[in-house]
Every structure is written in C-alpha cells, then in structure tokens.
Amino acid sequence: MSDNTPHFNQPFLSTLDSAVLANSEDDPNYYASSPRSLLSTSTVHSLATGTGSALYRSLAPLLESTNHELILVTCFWAHSTTLHVLNAVLRTLSDKAVHRGTEKIRVRLCFSSLSLFQKLFHKQSVAGQEYPPSVWSSKLGLPPPSDLNGLDLQIKSVFILPFSVMHPKFMIIDRSTVILPSCNISWEEWFEGCVTVSGPIANQFLQFYSKFWARRDPNPHVSIGSGNDHWQNKTIGTTDLGHGHILHQFLLNGKTSPISNIPTVFLPSPHRRNPQFRPFSSAERVIAPPTPLNTFILTLFAKAESSIRAQTPNLTSPPVLSALMKALTRGIDVSILTSEKLMVLEQLVTAGITTSRCVKKLIKRYRKLQAPPTDGRASDEEVAISRLRPGALRISYFTPRGGPKARGDEGGEPQQSHLKMTIVDGEVLVLGSGNLDRASWFTSQELGVAFFDKRLVEAMEGAVDTAMEGRARVVYDSRAGDV
C-alpha cells in the first residue's frame, strides 16, 4: 500500500502554520505553535456499528477491564439504557478495587449537556462545574456513592452560552486504550459507529483531556501500558448481530493487530462563542475557523483524487457545501448519507437553515454544473468548469427499517443516523464527533481522528454498507437522475 500521507498532511500542516495567531486564542491551544505534534500512529483493535445502547453493551467487558483509571468524555447525558450499562460497569470496577484491597480506581466523567435548565444556568467558564456525591443519583442517575466505594470518582460539566457545547465523545482506559464512539450517554436509538485503538495516539487523547477537562498537564499518577492487557482472547472476524449492530475484530492471537503502527492524525476543534452568521453572504465567502479538524476536512476535499464519501447527521456548513461543489467540478465523485429531519429546531437556531434545504440547494447547483451557461454571460470560472466532466453526485437520507417508531418502541432498530464518517479516495478515514453542520464547524468543541489505512477503510465501509442495507433512501443520483 502506497503512503499517501504527505499528499494530505503537508498542505494541512502548512495551513495550520499560517493560522498560529488565530489558533493561539483557542482553548485548548497547546498544539497551535506546533501543528506537527498532531501527527501520530495507532493500532486499531476493533470497530463497530449499531445503536448507542448496543455499542455500550458490547463495550462493557472492555470497560470493566480497567485496572487503574477510566476517563469518559461525552456531550449529552441522560437517563437511558446506555446509562444503565455504564452504571453496571462502575459497580463492577468498584467491586474490583474493593476486593483487591489496593488503591481505588480513578474514574473521571465529563459531559456538556444535561438539560435546557442546566445549560441556561450553567457556570460560564471553561473550568466548568463539578457535581458532589450528594447529587450523583438524583441529578445524574448514577448509583449511590455507597455502591462506589472502590472508586475515586469525579464528575464535571462544561457548557458556554449561547451554543458552545463540548461535543467530543471518547474513553481512555488505563491511559493505553482509547474508545472513540459517536454516541452520547443517551436514550436516542440512533445509528452510531465506534473504533478502539491503542499506541501513541492514546497520549494525544490524554493530553487533550488533561489540558481542557483537568486544566493541567497530564498527571503521571498512572503509568501508560501497552494496551494489550485489555485485548486478550479476541479473534479476528466480523459478526452481524442485527439492527445494524456489526462488530469487526482485527486482533490476532489476543496480542497483535494486522492494522498497527498506521499513520494517524489527532484533530481537535475548540469551541467558539461567535457563530459568525452572515445571512447575506454566499457560501464561498463564509470562512470557517481554522481549527485542525476543519482544516483537515477541507484539505481532504481539496486534495481528493477520485472520491469523497460522507455520512453525517446534518449537512449545513457553508464551507463544507462549497468545498464539495469544488470537488465535484474537478471530477471527484461525491456520496453523502445524511438525515432529512433530524433536530430541525436546533438546525434553525444554530445554522438558520435545515439539512433538507441545503441538500436541495446542492442538487440545484450541481445541475447547473452539468449544464453550464451558454448565453455569453458565463464567468471565466464557469467557462473553465464547463470544460471538465463533473464527478458523480449521490445523496441519500437515512430511513429506519419498518418506518419510524416512537420512543420505547424501537425494538433495537436505529431511528436516525448519528455516525460521523468521512472517507476520501478509499484510503483516509475520519471518525469522531464532528458533524458537517454549522454548529460543529463554528461553535461546538469537537474531536476527530484521521486514519491512513486502506484495510481499515475497507472494513469500515463494509460494516456501514451492510448496516445501511434497507436503511438508505436515495434522493438524488446523477447517474440515474432523480429517484
């Protein structure tokens, strides 16, 4: 497999080098003066798709293998099946520490959104607010402190008005194994994705957590292990558990993974309070903050040589829409799977437009691209574009099998797609918390990871393709016309 990382990383790093002053004002900003520090490597152990509750159930044994420290960061926190699974994990870890009679297991739980009331009256500081044991059960739905005597447990939330949620979702086990899911601690039965990794990338997650959530440099209290202790008795292969819940293990002999030491890029995106609304500006004139995640995605789209595939809950970011159109004009095939009606009110508040409207605009612009002006009024750019064969455009909306179901009646069937996945040229995969919407690109704190490995891309695409069978409704396909 050819190493194509310089093709993307060099312009990515060059752009960040030119944005040092802007990014130095961010929080966290430890990487601003040294963008190259975001480059890393990783070993991929497994990937999975399915609803959030299904993913947490499958992750429970791994979480319960924690020996010293468990860090869990999420955005939304709610009473749910997922929370019940986490509660069982916390009880197991507490019992483990009590029975072995040694030090307590450190657990750090971090989130941003609990309720509308919580957000309106939240402490307006990145230092956040901590939750004493007296409210763990009543407010957060956790076990009573008496059930968690074996844990050194601290809980913190951070939210900044008006729109700045801390949106990342990740878990760090004993500072050696990282879980990167797209789901929250939530009752929402949505289609999600998850990847588990170890290696140097774990240090990147730990530093991000320490700088922002702990507000200090990484604490050497717990040593960093190899990550292999958490991956015994695993076998390679794919298992389809139904309802889009697919597990793929890469581990061989319980010790090694065929996908190891792969080039990996850590992609934080700090929050901002200013949404930079420009209601009368064209999409091409709306400039996104030059965060590592934003910059990397735009670099991917600009440097793509054959194809772009994106699965996102919403699609309302003007820079993304503009970049996709430019890619199409260069002959790059673009495939998008998104949602027609997901969090519509939130879209209107944070973006002033909905995904369905943006999709219609994108299709309209693409049709004009296929039939450029011929009346002599075309601009030089349009004339140049008309000489190229545009790439193919395919857009689909997620649709649950059997139709939408009310809360509590889902029967395990995902009702919306919440996966955040970008694949370029079949060899670069970006996963994490970032949506291709205005909130993620302008105000929310996000966190993504880019993996350069064709085998991982093939496995992820295979899992998602299988899960999307019967769950994707094509609304436009340039190779077939309107559907």
Residue 2: the pLDDT is 46
- Tens of pLDDT along 117-151? 888 889 999 999 999 999 999 999 999 999 999 99
**pLDDT beyond 80 at 388:** no
pLDDT at 3 over 70: no
Q: Quick one: what percent of the chain has pLDDT higher than 90? A: 78
pLDDT digits (tens, 9 = 90+) for 50-103: 999 999 999 999 999 999 999 999 999 999 999 999 999 999 999 999 999 989
Strands 39-51 and 246-249: antiparallel
Inform me whether the pLDDT recorded for 477 exceeds 90. Answer: yes
pLDDT band at 210 (very low <50, low <70, confident <90, very high): very high
CA distance 441 to 275: 9
Q: What's the chain's average pLDDT?
A: 91
- The packing angle between helices 292-303 and 318-329, to 10°, is 20
Residue 152 identity (one-letter amino acid) = D
Helix (H) or strand (E) holding 464: helix 454-468
- Show Cβ contacts of residue 196 under 8 Å, excluding neighbours closer than 6 positions: 44, 45, 46, 47, 62, 177, 178, 179, 180
Residue 386 has pLDDT above 60, yes or no: no
Q: Which tens digits make up the pLDDT trace of 233-247?
A: 456 789 999 999 999
Q: For position 273, what pLDDT does the model report?
A: 74
Phi, psi dihedrals of residue 435, rounded to the nearest 5°: -85, 165
pLDDT of 257 over the 80 cut: no
Domain with CATH 3.30.870.10 in the chain: 43-265, 270-482
Domain 43-265 bears CATH identifier 3.10.20.30: no
Give the whole-angstrom CA distance, residue 100 versus residue 86: 21
Q: 342 pLDDT band (50/70/90 cuts)?
A: confident
What does the alpha-carbon distance between residue 256 and residue 252 come to, in Å, rounded to a whole number? 5
Average pLDDT in the 41-54 region? 96
Report the topology of domain 270-482: Endonuclease; Chain A (3.30.870)
